[in-house]
Chains A and B, each alone.
Chain A
Amino acid sequence: MIVASPKPIEEVINTVKDCKKLLILGCNECVTVCEAGGKKEVGILASALRMYFAKQGQQILIEERTLERQCDHEYLEEIRDIADTYDAILSLACGVGVQFTAEKYLSTVVLPGVNTCFLGATEERGLWTERCQACGSCVLASTGGICPVSRCAKRVLNGPCGGSTKGKCEISKEVDCAWQLIVDRLTALGKMDEYEQIAPLKDWSTDRAGGPRKVAKEDVQS
C-alpha cells in the first residue's frame, strides 16, 4: 500500500488559516490502514483545528467527510454538490488523491494534509516500512524476493557494498542491509550460485527517469 504520515499540525494550520469554511476529506484505503488519513484521523485533525482556531478567536467552519477512495472518479463524484461550497478541501489522502480531487474540482483549493512516504507494508501495529519504489521493472526474481532498489540506500544491484556491518547498513544501525537479507535468503534457498551472476545495467526508463508513467489495459478500456 501507499504509506503516508500526517503533516505537522503547525504546517496544516498555516495552510488553512485563511479559510472560513473547510472540508477535511479522508480516504478509506491505504491512508486508513496506515492511520494517517482515514475517518478516525479526519476526526482527530478536525477537533484539533477547531480547538486551535477557537482559542485564537477565529471563526472557521470545519466539516468532515471520508470517501471510499480519492483515486477513483466514482467516489470523488460523491462530493460534486458540495465541493465548491468550501474555501478549501484539506485532503488526507496520498498525493494521488490530493491531485485527483484537485483535477476534478477546479474552483476549490485542495491542500495536502499528509506527506506521502513510500510503498510499504505494516510491519507491526504503528510501524510501516518500505518495500517498493515502483521502478517499473521488477528484479525480485533474481534477488531472493528482497528488493535492492527500495531497500538498499545506494540501490546497489550487485551488493553488498563495503559499508555492510553486522547485517546493518552504513547509514544507520537501525537499517537492515538489504544485501545481507538477500544473501541469507539465497543461502536458505540453496541458490547462492545465482549470486555470482552480474546484474546488468538497469533500464531506468520505466522508473521516474522516464517521465510520468502510464499503464493501459486496452481490453478493459471502453
Chain B
Amino acid sequence: MSLKTDSKLEKILRAGHLAVTSECGPPRGTDLSKVEEKANLIKDCVDAINVTDNQTSVTRMCSLAACIKIKLMGLDPVLQMVTRDRNRIAMQSDILGAAGFGINNMLCLSGDHQSFGDCATGQNVHDLDSMQLVQTVRHMRDEGKFLGGGDIAGPPKIFVGAAANPFADPFEVRVPRLAKKIAAGAEFIQTQCIYNVEKFEKWIGLANDRGLTEKVFILAGVTPMKSAGMAKYMKNRVPGMDVPDEIIKRLSDQPKEKQAEEGIKICIETMQRLKEVKGVAGFHVMAIEWEEIVPELVKGAGLYPRPEV
C-alpha cells in the first residue's frame, strides 16, 4: 500500500475499508462556530468531511476557511473547489494555501451555474473545467510544478477527487466520462445522490467491466429525504437528479410526521444494498442541513465504528 498523501481518507480506502464521508455547508456569515457545530455532529462517524464551495451558487463563507477550521479541530476536511469562480492563478494559489494548512483532500467540480444563486448577474470564470482542475492538482503534486512551469517549493500533497453523476444525460458517456476523469488523475469519486439504485448498479457494472473501479475509489452518494415535498423538489428542480416515482410514493404514503423516518429508512436500505456491490468503496452521506442524522445513517448501515488507521 503506497500512500501519496497524509490523507486519512486515502489511508482508509487503500487499506480496503469502506470509507464514509459527509459534508458541511459553510455559513452565510462569519460565524465559524457554525462550522464547528456541524463538524462535531458528524466527526465520530465519518473519515473525512467535505466542505462545499458556494453550493448552488449562493454566496457563503469560503470553503478554504471552513476547511482550515475543521483541520484545526484535528479532523480531515475535503476542500471542494469549483471552477466557476476562480481562474487558474486563484485555484493554484488556493491549493497551496490548503496544503499549507495540512488539508489533504480536494474534490474538483465545475459548480452549479450562477443563475441558480444569489448573484445571477455575475460573470462566471471557467478558465479550466473540472477535469482540467484534477489534472492541475495532480501536476502540482506529482511534478512539483506550477502550470506555468515553475518549481513549487513544497508541492501540495493532496488526495484528488472528482464527482460523477451516473444519472445525468447522455447515459452512454457517463462511464467514458468516468474513464476520462481517472485518466486526468482522479483518485476518488463521490457520486451524485443515488435514489435510482438500479441505474447506479448498471453504471458501476459498466465501470467494473472496463476495470475502472480498480483504478479509482468510488464513494456512493446518498442523501436522506426529509419529506415527500423534498423528494418532489429534487426530482423536478435539481439538475441531474433522478428520483424514481416509487421513492416519492413511499414517502407520500406516510403521514407528514413519519416521512422523515421513512426517508432515513430508504437511505439506510440503499447503503446496505450498495455495500455489497462490487466497485463501491464507500459512501458520501450528504444530509443537507440535517447533519445530526448522519450518525444514525452510518450506524444503520453497519458502518460504525469507523476503523482506526
Contact = CB atoms under 8 A, between A and B. Distances in A.
Contact of B168 (A153, A154, A160, A200): A160
Interface string B179-222: 11001100000001000000000000000000000000000000
B88 interface: yes
Interface-central residue, A153, A195, A201, by most chain B CB under 10 Å: A201
A56 B113 CA distance: 45
Interface stretch (B121-129, B287-295, B298-306): B121-129
B132 A171 contact: no
Interface in B64-79: none
Contacts of B164: 162
Interface-central residue, A155, A162, A166, by most chain B CB under 10 Å: A162
Contacts of A161: 110, 129-130, 168
B176 interface: yes
A156 B168 contact: no
A153 B127 CA distance: 13
Contact of B169 (A154, A164, A192, A198): A164
Contacts of A179: 173
Contacts of A156: 110, 126, 129-130
B33 interface: no
A-side interface size class: 20 to 34
A164 B168 contact: yes
A177 B169 contact: yes
Contact of B240 (A163, A171, A198, A199): A163
Contacts of A187: 172
B163 interface: yes
B180 A155 contact: no
Nearest to A184: B170
A160 B165 CA distance: 10
Contacts of A192: 176
Contacts, number: 100
Contact of A198 (B88, B168, B183): B183
Interface string A78-93: 0000000000000000
B98 interface: no
B91 to A, nearest CB: 11
B-side interface size class: 35 or more
A201 B124 contact: no
A37 interface: no
B180 A158 contact: yes
A170 interface: yes
B84 interface: yes
Interface string A154-182: 11111111111111001100000101100
A171 B113 contact: yes
A162 B166 CA distance: 8
Contact of A201 (B116, B147, B165, B180): B147
A167 B169 contact: yes
A183 B129 contact: no
B29 interface: no
Contact of B170 (A158, A162, A171, A183): A183
B167 to A, nearest CB: 8
A75 interface: no
A115 to B, nearest CB: 15
Contacts of B179: 196
Given A154-B83, A159-B129, A161-B168, 5 more contacts: A155-B126, A160-B170, A162-B239, A192-B176, A201-B128
Interface of A: 153-167, 170-171, 177, 179-180, 183-184, 187, 192, 195-196, 198-201, 204
Interface of B: 83-84, 88, 110-113, 115-116, 124, 126-132, 135-136, 147, 163-165, 168-170, 172-173, 176-177, 179-180, 183-184, 192, 239-240
16 contacts: A154-B84, A154-B113, A156-B110, A156-B126, A156-B130, A158-B132, A161-B129, A163-B112, A163-B240, A164-B170, A165-B239, A166-B169, A170-B240, A198-B183, A201-B88, A201-B132
